[in-house]
Structure 1
Amino acid sequence: MSNVRLPGAYHDLLKKLRTGRFVQGLTQADLARRARLTQPTLSRIEAGTRPVNVLELYALCEALQLPFIELVSQFAVEMHRESP
């Protein structure tokens, strides 16, 4: 994924996940355990070097108590704005 230019909406989504983790005072290892991911996987997701799939995103939202539907809806709106 490093050769692909990621849309700003995707970066915003990742930032919301990282912010949620920081606000709750969780380490990557803590969040990874809650979401049933490995810490290296979460690290790559947060860095934008590995795409997050919908099941992982749902698990991360559940672990962080973030509203999945709202997060995905905001992402869709931002992607639409970025479309030519």
Structure 2
Amino acid sequence: MLNIALSSLDSKSESVVQKALNNLMKGRTTLVIAHRLSTVVDADKIIFIEKGNLTGSGTHDELLQTHDMYREFATQQLKIKEGAL
């Protein structure tokens, strides 16, 4: 669990850590718990939990199309333009 440790990093340092983690995760099943969508956007499967309830699952693109709260988070965090959905 690196979420709190990563939250204090600047964007450049976070990118370096994310690249290292991506290399470590290749070819492995990995459970990632994240508040920042940039951490999981390339995952094979994302599980979205709201108030303790599983409310959606799928790839980033699938959730953008089908899950209102995920789409709202993605729009805010990833600077996705409304027309790109």
The structure where strand makes up a greater share of residues is 2
The structure where helix makes up a greater share of residues is 1
Q: Answer yes or no: same fold by TM over 0.5.
A: no
TM-score (norm 2): 0.29
Which structure has the higher relative contact order (CA within 8 Å, separation 6+)? 1
